[in-house]
Amino acid sequence: MSSNSTETVFGEDIRAQAREIIARYPEGKSRSALLPMLHLTQSVEGYVSPACIKFCAEMLDLSEAAVTAVATFYSMYKRQPTGEYLVSVCTNTLCGMLGGDEIYEVLQRELGVGGNETTPDGKVTLEHAECLAACDYAPVVTVNYEYFDQQTQQSAKDVVRALRAGEPPTPTRGAPLCTFKQVERMLAGFPDEREDALAGGRSGGEPTFAGLRLTEGHGMADVAGASELAGDIDPAERHEGAGEHVPATPQSGQSSTTRRVTSEVPPSGGVARKAAEHAEDARERLRDETGEED
């Protein structure tokens, strides 16, 4: 493939964006720009085509073999043309047990495609995915990496039917849906310029914060700002019956690791007491290893 072929596919606007990506990295470290540049080329071609490989190699002064090695290692770089919407069904352990496998099979029949195949109208590409980092909302489906939580076979069919009808549904969380090529440009590090980009969506819900609320109820140490994310929790209720948090003052001669272990231990409360016991065990191990004395 000649250099002219990449110039045909990737115009000066894309080349300027590629140079902008490269400029984000220190001199001599331009190969670090390869990951976002692969996303940039996917925003043009819809997959990592041979022209994409050659373009990245030329811009970064890498061999095509080196670019190909990276492009084939990560699952987000597609080797076949991807539809307008990439539908990913989590079939990992938790989602699979809660119906993810059945959802995947139902969508294959609904769309008339197999795994990593695209509908004849070019609208939807279907794939199964490993963990989508939303186990608290299992089973989960994503469309162009936006979440549709706690899906059923019927709700998943409704999602893909809406996509094919040109009426993209609203994700459970996050921004409104955009096309696969649009999201690839964002993954390359460029802003979402849609007027409705921040409309609607939310970032989390009750399942996300269940663990936080449990620890709050036991008066365990709060991560800075976490309670605000979870919603208003009355501080009086938060630590009721659990005693006050008393930061320990490190003794002179303690190692930095020991100081981190003793930084904050709530003195009472069931779960909190267990945490204190684990911290004391950790201190004992550190003393044994370092020969430090209290």
Q: In terms of residue numbers, what domain contains 144?
A: 85-187
> Does pLDDT of 226 surpass 90?
no
Q: How many residues appear in the chain?
A: 294
Burial class (CB in 10 A: 0-12, 13-18, 19+), 139: buried
Supply the CATH number for residue 167's domain: 3.40.30.10
Domain edge (last residue) among 22, 53, 73: 73
Q: What per-residue confidence (pLDDT) applies to 255?
A: 40
Q: Are residues 92 and 67 in the same domain?
A: no
Domain count, the chain: 3
| pLDDT tens figures, 82-122 | 999 999 999 999 999 999 999 999 999 999 999 999 999 99
Is residue 196 assigned to a domain? no
Distance in angstroms (rounded) separating the CA atoms of residues 37 and 30: 11
Residues 124 and 61 in one domain: no
Give the tens place of pLDDT for each residue, 37-92.
Answer: 999 999 999 999 999 999 999 999 999 999 999 999 999 999 999 999 999 999 99
What tokens does 273 get?
């007491």
Residues 90 and 183 in one domain: yes
> Is residue 199 situated within a structural domain?
no
Q: What pLDDT does residue 52 have?
A: 97
Average pLDDT, the chain: 81
Q: Is residue 67 part of a domain?
A: yes
Q: Which of 19, 38, 73 is the last residue of a domain?
A: 73
Percent of the chain with pLDDT strictly greater than 70: 72
Q: Domain boundary at 24, 46, 73, which?
A: 73
> Quick one: 63 and 93 in the same domain?
no
Whether 195 maps to a domain, the answer reads: no
**217 and 286 fall within a common domain:** yes
DSSP labels for 190-259? -----TTTTSS--S--HHHHHHHHHHHHTTPPPPTTHHHHH----HHHHTTTS----PPPPPTT--HHHH
pTM over 0.85: no
- Banded pLDDT at 232 (limits 50, 70, 90): very low
| CATH number of the domain residue 39 falls in | 1.10.10
Q: Is residue 198 part of a domain?
A: no
Same domain, 49 and 124: no
